[in-house]
Amino acid sequence: MNESQIDADPHPDLSPAAQQLRIATFRLARRMRTQRAVDSMSDGQFAVLAALRVHGPHTLGELADRERVSAPSMNRTVNCLQESGYIARAADERDGRKVVISLTPEGDAVVDETARRRDAWVEAALGELTPAERDTLSAAAELMQRMVAR
């Protein structure tokens, strides 16, 4: 195999479709992120609340690993969320040297309200489409789930 074959795009005919899907997905995600319960909350802060909601209490290191950020960066995020009353820190029941971070009822309410607002925005946008277009998006959503599960 020569060098030009190695560098060649394995699916040159898919490149425009991949670019279009990437841009549309990014724009949709960005638009949905604007629908939040607390306007001053960053995407990173909300991601921590959502992770705690879905996966339960974590240590700081576990949260940092889950969100792929450094421990000092996660500590700043956690401090801000704790000051706002959205999360709480407590000693680990099994190992008192560790601190476990969990969602407070206020944090849980932020996750609920943000999800409600995002769902409402998507529902309104879907309401402007034809039934056939909604069917197309439903099929696309299933395919996208398959893509990310790989």
Across 4-134, where does the E strand assignment appear?
58-59, 87-91, 99-103
Instruction: Record the tokens describing residue 64, joined without a space.
Output: 């940092």
- In-domain check, residue 145: yes
Helices 43-55 and 105-127 pack at an angle, to 10 degrees, of 110
Residue of higher predicted confidence among 127 and 91 = 127
Report the pLDDT value the prediction gives residue 11, as an integer from 0 to 100: 64
- Percent of the chain residues past pLDDT 70, beyond the cut: 92
Q: What domain range includes position 85?
A: 37-149
Q: What is the mean pLDDT of the chain?
A: 91
Closest CA to 49 of 85, 25, 73: 85
DSSP 97: T
- In-domain check, residue 6: no
- In-domain check, residue 25: no
pLDDT(2) > 90: no
pLDDT confidence bin for 13, thresholds 50/70/90: confident
Report the pLDDT value the prediction gives residue 69, as an integer from 0 to 100: 95
Report the pLDDT value the prediction gives residue 7, as an integer from 0 to 100: 57
Q: Which tens digits make up the pLDDT trace of 22-79?
A: 999 999 999 999 999 999 999 999 999 999 999 999 999 999 999 999 999 999 999 9
Report the pLDDT value the prediction gives residue 115, as an integer from 0 to 100: 95
- In-domain check, residue 85: yes
C-alpha separations of 97 from 24, 90, 145 in Å: 46, 10, 39
- In-domain check, residue 98: yes
Total domains in the fold of the chain = 1
Report the pLDDT value the prediction gives residue 97, as an integer from 0 to 100: 84
- In-domain check, residue 8: no
- In-domain check, residue 16: no
**Domain of residue 143, CATH code:** 1.10.10.10
- In-domain check, residue 82: yes
Q: What is the model's pTM?
A: 0.80
Q: Which tens digits make up the pLDDT trace of 83-120?
A: 999 999 998 888 878 899 999 999 999 999 999 999 99
